[in-house]
């Protein structure tokens, strides 16, 4: 028997057995019984002394044995694309396991988000390095990211990989892969207070962890694709043992020659998830361990004139210059949830995360490339041929939620806290193995800490079975301090820091007009706190007789309004959402080519507005057609000037906001074959300058045609449950466009040029998976 407890109208996760006693002595049964017995021995007291029957008091509530849903989701969408829905008054789109696990050859955990309405993501190789993401025009640093309900974004630099447009970002960091996820959700706009998002003023991307299922399975998989792309791995799911627990393990390797010259890349991922129910299924302990590392040659953004001359895959010869990077992300999560009684549910999680990026760059001192008489890149500050950049963070945190149940209503009180330490350094070296000596051959060498805390309260109140109101408020606290050791760009060294406390109210509502029609909306206020780069300029102004000036950058504030309608029948799903988000103290950044530092600053006020339309129709016979169309506009609403000579006027566009995004597709399921064909459309985007403002130029619109086919082969071999083959095509028509450009001024004369990243050309990949 399998039991779940029901908590209001909320779904907590994947159904698991409260207890299972295995009969017989099959090899699989002996394996999982021995393995789960060893785990029970290693964790005494977590399992009941004896397997308990699956009998639960009928409270009329839910108890589930995976993570509690903070947004009231009712499951992840099926199929290859997401249709916008509603959660607590906010628009939400979701992708389920089906879309994730058949596309690992050609997609990664970021680019798969292109299946969401209003989302645009690009990456410099199939493995997911240097992603650029925007959600309804909001950049990656204006979004929050969670894994199992806990933040995985960088506390210091924002974004999932240390910043979208920061040149000193974590280029080849891959925090999460598709194989470690069972679904992905995007919350549009500021999320309700209970969501542990940090800096998610434009939206939040939530990754659901991959957890054990109720039956045993094991599989091996492998694939090959364009650009010498390869992957292989194995996974095992023990199912529930006589002790009640279950374990899922996965290991995978990915590599690619890349579509850009001289930039091969490879990555490894290891993942484990353990779930152990107790008290007859009314409590649950869980443990998740995630490890991803990546290494490879980092492609450079190239001057667009050189790409036009030598081809879009052109990169500098390695005899001129190269950059080799190694990056690691680790995360460990311990969770415990229990129903104290019919009125109180507790959800506790603790986590630790570690990130390290180590990049070695070479520049031949005898070669100084020029274009049109101007230097294309500068030699290092002290004439050394090598540059080593290291970025390390360690973060620990705790989340606690207390859910009070009153019939169909719920009140939640909770808090979240995290402390993170950071070390960033850049040293110029005569050889790759030369010593890095602080205050001697360093450009900078700095340490910092950031403490984040949040307390919140919110309610979910139901009236007459049709109206739901979700009021809430959170109070956030951020304390940051940085210490710079003397170096090239900090001659005397300095220390600076500050703290902020900000309240954010939230009000969401939905009204079910008919059985199939719902209207919803929310109003919210939220803040994004300054990145660590906002503190750089203060320390650089310190002298031997004068301390650094105070930090003048203040948090970016948004006031958001959203209104939507959702229509759903057995065959049809339609959605529309309007939004308007007003910003003050808008963040922007400047890249200083003389020292390689990125500075963040406030740049006036701005406004984002737009409309999202989504729809799908299933006429039967396994067919499904779907599409979405999003139009967005982002403009400055005040005049502003920064200290680097950049200025904007009210009405100027915000850079890197696609004017529209759209997709249209069809899916077909016939017997053992699932097919999908879809087209993605990306509108033009205004290009930004190094000083952080918009230009008068735009990247042209483009579109890509994509397809996937998954076939389950009939297998009669003993011990093999199924054999699947997946064939994926990306950019079938081989469209060419620049997915990212930034304007540079010529250092030796008037005028400017653009550095660019070209889109991935046609990709074909095939993958086989055998399940036992």
Q: CB-hemisphere CA count at 13 Å for 445?
A: 16
Q: Give pLDDT, residue 198.
A: 93
User: Residue 168: CB partners within 8 Å, gap ≥ 6?
Assistant: 389, 391, 424, 596, 597, 598
Q: Residue 447 and residue 464: Cα distance in Å, rounded? A: 56
Q: How would you label 529-552 residue by residue, b for 16+ Cβ within 10 Å and e otherwise?
A: bbbbbbbbbbbbebeeeeebeebe
Q: Which long-range contacts (CB under 8 A, 24 or more apart) does 233-236 make?
A: 233/179, 233/269, 235/179
Render 511-580 in DSSP notation, one character per residue: EESSSSEEEEEEEEEEEEPPPGGGGHHHHHT--SSSPPPPP----EEEEEEEEEEEEE-SSEEEEEEEEE
Q: Residue 225 and residue 542: Cα distance in Å, rounded? A: 53
Q: Which run of H or E residues covers position 267?
A: strand 265-278
CA angle 107, 108, 109 (to 5 degrees): 135
The SS3 assignment for 295 reads strand
What's 112's DSSP letter?
G
Q: Report residue 119 as tokens.
A: 């989302």
HEC letters along 568-592: ECCCEEEEEEEEEEEEECCEEEEEE
Q: CB-hemisphere CA count at 13 Å for 416?
A: 22
**What values do phi and psi take at 330, rounded to 5?**
-125, 145
In 3D space, the residue among 209, 208, 204 whose CA is nearest the CA of residue 92 turns out to be 204
User: Residue 541: CB partners within 8 Å, gap ≥ 6?
Assistant: 548, 549
Q: Residue 392 and residue 668: Cα distance in Å, rounded? A: 46
Q: Give pLDDT, residue 595.
A: 65
All structural domains of the chain with their residue ranges: 95-203+211-771
CA angle 150, 153, 155 (to 5 degrees): 100
The SS3 assignment for 139 reads strand
Total Cβ atoms within 10 A of residue 714: 7
Q: Give pLDDT, residue 315.
A: 94
Q: Which residue has the tokens 């719920």?
A: 410
Q: How would you label 79-113 residue by residue, b for 16+ Cβ within 10 Å and e otherwise?
A: bbbbbbbbbbbbbbbbbbbbbbbbbbbbbbbbbbb
Render 359-396 in DSSP notation, one character per residue: EEEEE-TT---EETTEESSPPPTTS-SEEEEEEEEEEE
The SS3 assignment for 750 reads coil
Contact of 466 with 418, CB cutoff 8 Å? no
Q: Give pLDDT, residue 447.
A: 95
Q: Which residue has the tokens 């920064």?
A: 642
Q: Which run of H or E residues covers position 30?
A: helix 27-42
DSSP-derived pairing of the beta strands 321-339 and 302-303: unpaired
The SS3 assignment for 603 reads coil
* Distance set, CA 63 to CA 5, 68, 582 (Å): 3, 9, 39
Q: Residue 173 and residue 390: Cα distance in Å, rounded? A: 13
User: Residue 189: CB partners within 8 Å, gap ≥ 6?
Assistant: 90, 91, 202, 203, 522, 524, 560, 562, 579, 581
339 pairs with which residues across the strands? 345
Render 696-748 in DSSP notation, one character per residue: EEEEPPEEEEEEEEEEEE---STT--EEEEEEEEESTT----EEEEEEEE-TT
Contact of 279 with 54, CB cutoff 8 Å? no
* Distance set, CA 350 to CA 153, 637, 668 (Å): 16, 42, 43
Superfamily of domain 95-203+211-771: TonB-dependent receptor, beta-barrel domain (2.40.170.20)
User: In the chain, which stretches have pLDDT less than 70?
Assistant: 1-79, 162-169, 378, 593-596
Q: Give pLDDT, residue 729.
A: 94
Total Cβ atoms within 10 A of residue 187: 28
User: Residue 407: CB partners within 8 Å, gap ≥ 6?
Assistant: none
Q: Residue 740 and residue 403: Cα distance in Å, rounded? A: 44
Q: Give pLDDT, residue 131.
A: 84
The SS3 assignment for 666 reads strand
Burial class (CB in 10 A: 0-12, 13-18, 19+), 44: exposed
Burial class (CB in 10 A: 0-12, 13-18, 19+), 643: exposed
Q: Give pLDDT, residue 100.
A: 84
Q: Residue 273 and residue 290: Cα distance in Å, rounded? A: 9
Q: Residue 229 and residue 763: Cα distance in Å, rounded? A: 10
Q: Report residue 24 as tokens.
A: 């017989």
What is the dihedral angle through the alpha carbons of 77, 83, 86, 91, rounded to the nearest 10 degrees? 130
Q: Residue 130 and residue 222: Cα distance in Å, rounded? A: 24
Q: Which run of H or E residues covers position 633?
A: strand 623-636
User: Residue 448: CB partners within 8 Å, gap ≥ 6?
Assistant: 156, 421, 422, 423, 424, 480, 481, 482, 483, 532, 535
Q: Give pLDDT, residue 596.
A: 65
pLDDT digits 0-9 by tens, 329-384: 999 999 999 999 999 999 999 999 999 999 999 999 888 787 777 777 767 777 88
Q: Residue 446 and residue 700: Cα distance in Å, rounded? A: 40
Total Cβ atoms within 10 A of residue 665: 21
Q: Give pLDDT, residue 66.
A: 37
Q: Residue 680 and residue 664: Cα distance in Å, rounded? A: 7
């Amino acid at each position: 028997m399998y039991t779940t407890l029901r908590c209001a109208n909320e779904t907590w996760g994947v159904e698991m057995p409260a207890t299972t006693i295995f009969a017989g002595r099959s090899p699989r049964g002996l394996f999982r019984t021995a393995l789960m017995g060893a785990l029970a021995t290693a964790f005494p007291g977590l399992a009941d002394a004896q397997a308990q029957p699956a009998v639960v008091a009928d409270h009329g509530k839910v108890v589930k044995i995976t993570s509690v849903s903070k947004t009231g989701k009712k499951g992840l969408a099926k199929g290859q694309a997401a249709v916008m829905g509603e959660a607590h008054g906010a628009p939400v789109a979701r992708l389920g396991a089906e879309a994730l696990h058949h596309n690992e050859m050609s997609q990664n955990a970021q680019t798969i988000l292109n299946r969401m309405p209003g989302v645009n993501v690009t990456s410099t190789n199939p493995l997911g390095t240097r992603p650029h993401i925007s959600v309804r025009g909001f950049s990656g640093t204006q979004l929050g990211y969670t894994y199992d309900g806990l933040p995985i974004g960088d506390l210091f630099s924002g974004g999932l990989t240390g910043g979208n447009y920061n040149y000193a970002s974590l280029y080849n960091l891959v925090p999460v892969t598709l194989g470690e996820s069972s679904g992905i959700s995007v919350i549009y706009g500021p999320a309700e207070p209970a969501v542990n998002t940090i800096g998610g003023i434009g939206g939040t991307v939530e990754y659901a962890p991959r957890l054990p299922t109720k039956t045993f399975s094991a599989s091996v998989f492998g694939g090959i694709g364009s650009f010498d792309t390869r992957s292989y791995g194995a996974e095992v799911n023990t199912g529930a043992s006589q002790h009640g627990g279950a374990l899922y393990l996965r290991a995978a390797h990915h590599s690619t020659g890349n579509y850009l010259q001289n930039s091969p890349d490879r990555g490894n991922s290891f993942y484990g998830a353990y779930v152990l129910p107790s008290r007859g299924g009314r409590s649950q302990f869980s443990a998740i361990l995630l490890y991803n590392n990546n290494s490879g040659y980092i492609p450079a953004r190239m001057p667009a004139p050189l790409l036009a001359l030598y081809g879009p895959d052109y990169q500098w010869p390695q005899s001129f210059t190269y950059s080799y990077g190694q990056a690691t992300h680790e995360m460990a999560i311990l969770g415990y949830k229990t129903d104290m009684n019919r009125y109180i549910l507790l959800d506790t999680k603790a986590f630790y995360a570690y990130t390290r990026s180590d990049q070695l760059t070479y520049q031949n001192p005898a070669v100084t490339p020029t274009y049109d008489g101007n230097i294309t890149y500068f030699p290092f500050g002290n004439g050394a041929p090598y540059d080593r950049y290291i970025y390390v963070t360690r973060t620990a945190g705790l989340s606690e939620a207390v859910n009070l149940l009153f019939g169909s209503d719920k009140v939640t009180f909770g808090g979240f806290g995290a402390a993170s330490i950071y070390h960033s350094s850049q040293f110029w070296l005569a050889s790759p193995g030369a010593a890095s000596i602080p205050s001697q051959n360093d450009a900078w060498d700095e340490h910092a800490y950031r403490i984040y805390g949040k307390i919140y309260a919110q309610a979910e109140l139901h009236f007459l079975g049709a109206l739901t109101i979700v009021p809430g408020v959170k109070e956030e606290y951020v304390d940051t301090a940085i210490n710079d050791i003397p170096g090239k760009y900090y001659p005397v060294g300095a220390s600076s820091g500050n703290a902020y406390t900000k309240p954010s109210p939230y009000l969401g509502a939905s009204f079910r007009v008919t059985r199939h029609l719902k209207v919803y909306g929310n109003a919210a206020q939220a803040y994004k706190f300054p990145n660590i780069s906002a503190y750089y300029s203060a320390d650089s102004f310190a002298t031997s007789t004068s301390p650094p000036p105070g930090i003048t950058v203040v948090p970016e504030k948004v006031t958001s309004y959203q209104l939507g309608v959702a229509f759903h029948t057995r065959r049809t799903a339609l959605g529309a959402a309007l939004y308007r988000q007003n910003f003050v103290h808008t963040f922007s950044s400047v890249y200083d080519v003389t020292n390689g530092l990125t500075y963040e600053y406030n740049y006036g006020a701005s406004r984002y507005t737009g409309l999202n339309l989504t729809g799908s129709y299933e006429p039967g016979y396994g067919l499904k057609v779907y599409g979405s169309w999003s139009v967005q506009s982002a403009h400055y609403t005040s005049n502003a000037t920064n200290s680097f000579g950049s200025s904007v006027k009210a009405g100027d566009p915000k850079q890197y906001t696609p004017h529209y995004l759209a997709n249209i597709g069809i899916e077909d399921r016939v017997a053992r074959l699932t097919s999908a064909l879809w087209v993605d459309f990306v509108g033009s985007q205004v290009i930004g300058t190094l000083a952080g403002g918009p230009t008068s130029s735009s990247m042209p619109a483009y579109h890509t045609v994509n397809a996937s086919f998954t076939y389950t082969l009939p297998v009669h071999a003993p011990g093999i449950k199924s054999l699947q083959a997946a064939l994926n095509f990306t950019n079938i028509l081989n469209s060419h466009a620049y997915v990212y450009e930034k304007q540079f001024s010529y250092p030796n004369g008037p005028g400017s040029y653009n550095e660019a990243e070209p889109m991935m050309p046609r990709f074909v990949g095939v993958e086989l998976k055998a399940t036992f």
